[in-house]
A = this chain, B = another copy of it.
Amino acid sequence: MAQELQTYLSEIRDNLEKGIIPFWMRNGIDKEFGGYLTSFDENGKPLPDTDKYIVTQTRMIWGFSILYKKYRSPELLAAAKQGVDFFIRHFWDNELGGWYWKVNRQGTLLDDGKVVYGQTFAIYALSEYTLASGDQLGLEYAEKTFDLLQKYCADTARGGYYENLERDWSLSAPGFAAGDLKSLDIHMHTMEAFTTLYACSHKEIHRRKLVEIIELLVDKMMDKEAGCGYNQFDVNFNRKPAINIRRTWNAERETGQVMDGPTDSTSYGHNVEFVWLLNRAMETLGDNSGKYDALCIKLVDHCLKYGFDAQRGGVYRDGPHEGEPLVRDKEWWQNCEVLIGFLDAYEHYGDQRYLDAFKKTWEFDSKYMINHEVGEWKQLLSEDGQPLTVNIGNPWKGIYHTGRAMLECTERLERLSR
């Protein structure tokens, strides 16, 4: 088996080192204005959309930082650092604190919303930047963001964090602007962010808030019977069929089936991403009690039962808590995250089915999803691999899912193939 895993390792490392890193180093850095460009057509040529979103800008900072931690090439560090400079200069609200949602290419403010999803990615990216570079500026802003999140975004009556806030940190309106709901999405990414923040700062308060967000996710946001995450809730954590929310990928997606909702759906990719992020969080906390293993196994099994294409490999986009998928398209990010999640589950729980799911998904990804000439991944395919959206980058797609998947899988395969 070690030999077989070596083959996967080599293919995956190649995609990272010869595809993803060179593509983004060559195309992703805005040499004129700083920060990052992320919209590219199927041939990797720049598209006219050059607006800069907090989510993608921070994910690019994160990606170049963690890659610098691994490869120690000064170009990677410089790519991260110039992104941090642009980000602090143009996204930070000097008056009221926190990060804006969107600026144009030059850095002129376009959307001053304070979205929790964006704040958490700032924490994630800036902490990783400090971990990689030693430059304390990243952690300084990450901690400031953490403090503002605690002050303005936590719900001290019911626990958890609100979703969308305005520039002045008042809650956004109910409904589409989501001032009245809580989502698995932002809470999962808060866990992800606090994991890296704590790994960087070693502060007790960051540890405590990481433990709290884990407890909240497990106790209130998981459908433990079905074995999947529930997507949206009212502020009291009563389940609400999911709607599309302002300033989210699903509300802004250019192509692919839009579920008008409200829908009782779950995301297979998200659930398996949650598993490996939770395992990473527990490892960072030094907690090897295994107390969430049963839940994690249920989540992966739910994906294998309902969301995984056992014939062709890869996972479908969305489905109900039980039963056949609602949207059978295959999207890049879910098919990145499950690679890590399946391997992670195999490493933790030793079930051969998880390794098999990883292999079949990688084979599908490698054959259909990756644009090997350009080096990066396409965006959206039909279930049998036919291209639906083949752009390489968009305002939401950068180095984060693909680079992270290849990096995390490389590290796991190195261990497993020894």
Given contacts A156-B159, A158-B159, A159-B157, contact A151 B216 (CB under 8 A): no
B-facing residues in A190-226 (Cβ within 8 Å): 204-205, 208-209, 211-213, 215-216, 219
The answer to the question of A68 belonging to the interface, with a C-beta cut-off of 8 Å to chain B, is no
The answer to the question of A245 belonging to the interface, with a C-beta cut-off of 8 Å to chain B, is no
The answer to the question of A85 belonging to the interface, with a C-beta cut-off of 8 Å to chain B, is no
Binding site for B on A (CB under 8 A): 147, 150-152, 154-161, 168-171, 204-205, 208-209, 211-213, 215-216, 219
Which residues on B sit within 8 Å (CB–CB) of A151? Answer: 147, 150-151, 205
Given contacts A150-B151, A151-B147, contact A156 B216 (CB under 8 A): yes
Chain B's closest residue to A214 (CB) is B157
Taken together as a complex, chains A and B put the C-alpha atoms of A204 and B170 apart, in Å, by: 7
User: Copy number in this complex?
Assistant: 2
Chain B's closest residue to A151 (CB) is B150
Contact among B158, B169, B205, B219 with A152 in the assembled complex (CB-CB below 8 Å): B205
- CB A112 to nearest CB in B, in angstroms, measures 16
Q: B216 to A168, Cβ gap below 8 A?
A: no
Taken together as a complex, chains A and B put the C-alpha atoms of A215 and B215 apart, in Å, by: 22
Q: A157 to B204, Cβ gap below 8 A?
A: no
Taken together as a complex, chains A and B put the C-alpha atoms of A247 and B215 apart, in Å, by: 29
- CB A141 to nearest CB in B, in angstroms, measures 16
Which residues on B sit within 8 Å (CB–CB) of A208? Answer: 170-171
Can you list 10 residue pairs at the A/B interface with Cβ under 8 Å? Answer: A150-B154, A155-B159, A155-B212, A156-B159, A157-B211, A157-B213, A157-B215, A157-B216, A158-B216, A170-B208
Q: B205 to A157, Cβ gap below 8 A?
A: no
Taken together as a complex, chains A and B put the C-alpha atoms of A171 and B205 apart, in Å, by: 10
Taken together as a complex, chains A and B put the C-alpha atoms of A392 and B342 apart, in Å, by: 70
Q: A213 to B156, Cβ gap below 8 A?
A: yes
Chain B's closest residue to A152 (CB) is B205
Contact among B147, B156, B157, B161 with A219 in the assembled complex (CB-CB below 8 Å): B157
Taken together as a complex, chains A and B put the C-alpha atoms of A169 and B150 apart, in Å, by: 15
Chain B's closest residue to A218 (CB) is B157
Chain B's closest residue to A190 (CB) is B156
Chain B's closest residue to A236 (CB) is B219
Taken together as a complex, chains A and B put the C-alpha atoms of A158 and B214 apart, in Å, by: 12
Chain B's closest residue to A217 (CB) is B157
Which residues on B sit within 8 Å (CB–CB) of A150? Answer: 150-151, 154, 156
Q: B215 to A168, Cβ gap below 8 A?
A: no
Taken together as a complex, chains A and B put the C-alpha atoms of A211 and B151 apart, in Å, by: 14
Q: B169 to A204, Cβ gap below 8 A?
A: yes
Taken together as a complex, chains A and B put the C-alpha atoms of A209 and B170 apart, in Å, by: 12
Since A157-B211, A169-B204 are in contact, a sample of 7 more A-B pairs with Cβ atoms closer than 8 Å, ordered by chain A residue number, is: A150-B151, A155-B212, A157-B216, A157-B219, A159-B159, A170-B208, A171-B208
Which residues on B sit within 8 Å (CB–CB) of A152? Answer: 205
Q: A161 to B156, Cβ gap below 8 A?
A: yes
Q: B147 to A212, Cβ gap below 8 A?
A: no
Which residues on B sit within 8 Å (CB–CB) of A154? Answer: 150, 154, 156
Which residues on B sit within 8 Å (CB–CB) of A168? Answer: 204
Taken together as a complex, chains A and B put the C-alpha atoms of A155 and B213 apart, in Å, by: 10
Which residues on B sit within 8 Å (CB–CB) of A211? Answer: 157
Q: B156 to A212, Cβ gap below 8 A?
A: yes
Which of A150, A161, A205, A219 lies at the interface centre, i.e. has the most chain B CB atoms within 10 A of its CB? Answer: A150
Closest 3 CB pairs of A and B: A157-B212, A159-B159, A157-B216
